[in-house]
Copies of this chain bind each other. A is one copy, B any other.
């Protein structure tokens, strides 16, 4: 008999915080994190998967607490020498981080799937959760801007999110299929909750939802689907979410996020700072402190989200 299982759907840094809370709160082997790969790109001849790597480092306890990305106890000799050689230095790669990219590039070139590589790294890092890329097929987030269409990292890192966003698309998503791990986790009868982490809905979650067949798997899943707000008191917790929502003409409110996800959701986690807006929500709400500063914050929010999901199980059954 399999244990009750929970799926986290996540982008990088912001989402990984809640994924870590769930991982530390729930029994070993019961958490699956389905991670965005729309930000993946090839740089310096290496395949780089920022959100997957952030999730690996975060759950392994290897994340860099000062930077918020990359590995702790990192050195930067490679980057320093690369600059002296006139190499491209706009995307910072630590020496230890580089090992993951070099080894992944080598193994993908030898025919291994990304999901298999990630599972092996997670095992070597001692992570007792399943970290599964959304797809083994290439999906690339492209950002339509006033300056033309940019590859995601060109927009996000090189251009520091400065160009005005006019549209987003996820090249390859229609033809892509969910990884076997994502598929199996979403079909599991033991599933208790699907948690959409407080990642950027447009840049981090939408690519996952756009993968061919993913939406159908979510709609057919036996557990309630809950989104945790990435917008608190008129601000985005992390990254360019607020800027993008403004540029796309969307009000900077949690309600916009709820409407964006639409019928996918069975429940929504609203921050207590936005309690006054709660009457506008027509779905079940958990109102709590969603701002995760400490490890304890992550674990408390995770526990509350799981309890909230348990309370929604009947509702989900009715819908299905």
Contact = CB atoms under 8 A, between A and B. Distances in A.
Contacts of A102: 44-46, 78, 82, 87, 102
The CB with the most chain B CB atoms within 10 A, among A45, A75, A84, A87, is that of: A45
Contacts of A97: 81
Given A78-B96, A81-B100, 15 more contacts: A44-B103, A45-B45, A45-B105, A75-B75, A77-B77, A78-B78, A78-B95, A78-B99, A81-B97, A81-B98, A82-B102, A82-B103, A84-B125, A85-B121, A87-B102
Contact of A77 (B82, B94, B103): B94
Interface in A55-101: 71, 74-75, 77-82, 84-87, 94-100
Interface of A: 44-46, 71, 74-75, 77-82, 84-87, 94-100, 102-103, 105-106, 109, 120-121, 124-125
A77 B80 contact: no
A95 B80 CA distance: 10
12 contacts: A45-B105, A71-B81, A75-B75, A77-B77, A77-B96, A78-B98, A81-B98, A81-B100, A85-B99, A85-B103, A85-B124, A95-B98
Contacts of A45: 45, 102, 105-106, 109
B74 A96 contact: no
A168 to B, nearest CB: 29
A100 to B, nearest CB: 7
A45 B94 CA distance: 19
Contacts of A100: 81, 85
Q: Is the interface of A mostly helix, strand, loop or mixed?
A: helix
Q: How many copies does the complex hold?
A: 2
A94 B78 CA distance: 9
B75 A106 contact: no
Closest 9 CB pairs of A and B: A77-B95, A81-B99, A95-B95, A81-B96, A82-B99, A75-B77, A77-B96, A75-B75, A87-B103
A42 to B, nearest CB: 10
A85 B87 CA distance: 26
A290 to B, nearest CB: 33
